Structure 1
Amino acid sequence: MTEMPGIMISAPSSGTGKTTVMLGLLRALAEDGLHVQAFKSGPDYIDPAFHQAASGRASFNLDSWAMGSELLAAISKQATGAEICVAEGSMGLYDGVATHGQSGFGSSAETAQRMGWPVVLVVDISGQAQSAAATAMGFQAYNPDVPFAGVILNRCASPRHERLARLGMDRAGLNVLGVLPRRGDLTLPERHLGLIQAVEHPDLEAAISGYAAFLRENVDIGAIRAAARGQMPTQATAQLPAPPAQRIALARDAAFSFTYPHLLEGWRSAGAEIIPFSPLANETPDAGADLVWLPGGYPELHGGTLAAADKFMTGLKKHAETRPVHGECGGYMALGDALIDKEGARHQMAGLLGLVTSYEKRKFHLGYRRAVLDAPLPGHGPETALRGHEFHYSTILEQPDAALAKVADADGNPVPETGSYRGHVSGTFFHLITAEQGA
């Protein structure tokens, strides 16, 4: 183990304001001249881009369900050169799945315990006062092995409200690191998958600067820095995932952006060339690429533009004649025959697969996925076991091609979204995180 001080920003549940605290703290620490390494606990692929905008340094996911100890060690090495790590939790501190994964159940508490990072619990005290202390005390006592730094009280209505809430925290023996007054403008825009993407925010820099100023006024940032503890796990064999090809044409724009940062870093560090292109701008994938990769994103918001992108579609089809093309979630839908948007309009997609999906008939699909391949996926052969995560609202109307994999949820229950393949083209609804260790 190598010393690497850090903290975990978590909360009792989603919607408590921890992302606002996270972004403001990252920017404030960076403004103070610190090299700050951000992490996201869990399988979120939107928050890391916000973290990078706030800190000026790429952020990475740490996921104890999907990732084995070697990959967790390899990702934690991205903190080399940083002076402090700040991790943002997912959902509530102890929320995970029921079945043990590669290294755990996927909770933020597991990440904090593994790394030795004390938890800063963001508690929404609206509608309560002293009672908030009982909640916070329960989170501290639930697992005494999880290090605990203190609490930030959010959405405080008045000085009287603060006094009462502090009385409760004092009685519970909890360190209050800050109190944030209620402000309606301290929220990030959202849509059906959660936050909008960082590139879509109308004025992200001003928002993050405002969060930092707000935290400086109301939070003891020095106390948070002093509370930071932890260590970086070291393993001699720890490596990031290898690239699936040498020259990778990667779709990258507002419709296709959901790729886990550790994958791209692994591809680059192994010497692969990543060549971005924009389907929305009607750009073609590089003619010399060995592989075209279409990440997930929001193609349903751009169906008409994609359907009219004739140069992109022609270049994609030409590539698929001789070389592999793979799509994840939104990318998979774009490879299909058609996409029906929420208004019921049908948009012709690439037609490289027979998949037809609809947002008019919405159904929520969320959760970890374990897939055992029936056919090759770029970079992985048949019978390889993969770990990933699925998060979308689309409904499959037609899927006539052969199944790509046997797919199950975290508890081993089969799911119908098996992915599919035809010729050199493959697609999945899950976003790839890693192959299982030993697979």
Structure 2
Amino acid sequence: MGRTVTRRYNPIRDTELDVGVVALVHSLQSARGKVLNGRRCILIEYLPKDERWKVQIQDESTTTALKVGNIKLTRRPVATHPEYLEMSLWYTQQCSAMLAGRKLEKKYRNARGVTFEDDEPYYRARKFVELLDHCTDGYEPHQTIMHGDIARYYSVVPETSQSCDATMGNLEYTAGCIALSGMCYGRAMRAMDCGDGRPDIVVFALLESAPVSLSVLLSHVVSTHYIGPESGYDRVRDDFRSSRLKMNIDDCELTPDQCSKDYCNAMKGPLGILYSLHKLISTPGRLDKILFGRIEKHPLFSKTLHRLFRLAARESKGTQDGEELGYTARCILMHMADMDGQMDDATFKSLTADRCSWDHGIQQQLLVKDDITSYEELLEFLQELLKDTSA
């Protein structure tokens, strides 16, 4: 007992100052500036005339222009983990204490993804994003123990429902996405009022670990592992494995549609994050557009849209995944296309009201739509779609 393993996170992170990159403020000399030193900021726009970056600093209500010499990239995180057996013993003791109504000493704060409910929100968000980060050097996903604050989110989707086609790494991604979604909404997926209602801090955390965190987030939507009763896995095993067995995470293919309750709960994690970005429309730095801009440049962009379109189409079919996720998918598509002024019930009803028209073409059109490569193309397509449904 007592040994630790050092695990360094994937080195594929932002290495140059660019739009959407998270940096640290430093070396400001004014009284106001000294307060900002050490704070994180997101780069919004480069101002060549002034040789400054327009940035959004955490918890600031306005944007700020900083010289290049006053911002620097954040350092990669390094975590030390106790041995697997030690973590297992502590987890067992924690469960026993919870059942008995006792509190257990908080431990392993440096371990991967471990945080606690009363920790500071920015810290919690960054720790949850650790679960979306690939690890190297001694990291064994199947030996990870979910404990601390993440345990409440991890249990939203039972491990037994995912064990057919998932590694512990997949379970980490699922738990991390659900936890971040809970922070965005202000409530966890099990209606426990323990969230923060702060999508802005989730954007900061995701971008600080980009591009790898965005790859995991989008691949969770595009190439979702089988989540459902084990009895149904034999029938679809080959379809899922042929879609997901890719050397590069950015090359993954769209996996088959799923409609189990646990699948819907799992997807409420990544979709919940994307949906909650509409809360940032009125923020000065438009952090929603910053994150969407990074997503638009990602290799999985078109396939992510394809999944959203399929969920919208399946809503009209009345499947469980469509009923539970279709509305959210349509909201995300509208927001991505900057059609927020049309995000009302009338607009969405017009997309599903006429079941006959959907059955005779529109539904099938969405099910196969996977060739959109920009938000401009998305806007044109949605406008045509709304025109067709209102004709």
Identify the structure with the greater strand proportion.
Answer: 1
What's the TM-score, normalizing by structure 1?
A: 0.26
What's the TM-score, normalizing by structure 2?
A: 0.28
